């Protein structure tokens, strides 16, 4: 009788252990009988770093142009222009992130008209303006980690303007030339927009299995995000070289383009790094 009771107890123990083993196999990848059953691990911590590339189209406000520090030009303007750039950033937690960006702003046509009887050469000034911009930016994402995330941002940095040689279409028929020049200035930005996570919910296999252990998947933080937004830029001042008139004589020193402001529509891609 004792042998029978012992056999029954042993059988119950074996069955219990078999049930526990089967449950564990189902959780961590299956068995030879059940085949591969993916097991999902908890998402890892948010990505800390990202890289980005951006393009923008700018509309400039009409600037102030002053010649010889005395004469104000009228009918001033800077044409619309494109820009392209990139940067690297880091997530700071609690919805905040920051990045450092560099961009090249392609040449735009700048014009102004001088009409003052005290000036030596009245007429229209035409020259090119292009820039290189470096900014440190801080953003707040209202739904960081979500599929759709509005954001606000501010930036501060440095811009290097370059004016390219231009012409003066003189009222007197004695046209002139404008030399180019480079000048640096403080720059600042205000931003608003939204981000769309293009790879939300994607999982990656992090280990393979065999007939006993199936593959294991975890949620990946390597995400590709689309950023779309508006940016207001303060770009400081730019200068041209001297203005030369008939006979190559200097008629004006270093005209200044002051208070350069731009309104931009921006679009870019941001890639999170693990």
pLDDT in tens, 196-231: 999 865 544 444 544 455 554 444 556 899 999 999
User: What's residue 172's pLDDT?
Assistant: 75
d(CA 265, CA 170): 36
196 or 144, which is more confident: 196
User: What's residue 38's pLDDT?
Assistant: 47
Provide the mean pLDDT of the chain.
81
**Cα separations (Å) of 175 from 30, 117, 124, 166, 248?**
85, 16, 9, 11, 10
96 contacts 150 by C-beta, under 8 angstroms: no
Question: Quick one: average pLDDT of 32-42?
Answer: 45
Is the pLDDT assigned to residue 89 strictly greater than 90? Answer: yes
208 or 172, which is more confident: 172
Q: 71-86, pLDDT tens digit by residue?
A: 899 999 999 999 999 9
Question: Quick one: average pLDDT of 114-126?
Answer: 80
pLDDT bucket at 175, cuts 50 / 70 / 90: confident
User: What's residue 41's pLDDT?
Assistant: 40
User: What's residue 253's pLDDT?
Assistant: 79
pLDDT bucket at 46, cuts 50 / 70 / 90: low
d(CA 50, CA 90): 6
């Amino acid at each position: 009788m004792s042998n029978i009771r012992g056999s029954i107890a042993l059988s119950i123990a074996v069955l219990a252990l078999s049930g526990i083993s089967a449950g564990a196999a189902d959780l961590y990848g299956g068995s030879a009988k059940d085949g591969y059953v993916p097991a999902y691990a908890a998402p890892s911590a948010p990505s800390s770093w990202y890289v980005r590339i951006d393009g923008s189209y700018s509309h400039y406000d009409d600037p102030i142009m002053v010649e010889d520090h005395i004469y104000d030009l009228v009918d001033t303007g800077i044409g619309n222009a494109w820009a392209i750039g990139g940067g690297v950033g880091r997530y700071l937690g609690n919805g905040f992130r920051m990045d450092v960006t560099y961009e090249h702003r392609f040449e735009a046509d700048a014009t102004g008209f001088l009409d003052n009887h005290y000036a030596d050469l009245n007429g229209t000034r035409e020259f090119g303006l292009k820039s290189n911009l470096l900014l440190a930016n801080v953003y707040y994402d209202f739904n960081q980690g979500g599929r759709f995330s509005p954001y606000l941002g501010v930036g501060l940095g440095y811009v290097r303007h370059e004016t390219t040689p231009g012409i003066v279409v003189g009222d007197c028929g004695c046209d002139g030339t404008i030399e180019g020049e480079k000048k640096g200035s403080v720059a600042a930005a205000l931003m608003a927009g939204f981000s769309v996570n293009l790879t939300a919910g994607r999982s990656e296999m992090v280990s393979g299995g065999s007939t006993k252990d199936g593959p294991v998947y975890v949620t990946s933080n390597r995400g590709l995000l689309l950023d779309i937004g508006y940016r207001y830029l303060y770009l400081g001042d730019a200068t041209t070289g001297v203005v030369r008139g008939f006979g190559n004589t200097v008629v004006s020193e270093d005209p200044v383009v002051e208070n350069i402001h731009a309104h931009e529509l921006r679009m870019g891609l941001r890639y999170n790094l693990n």
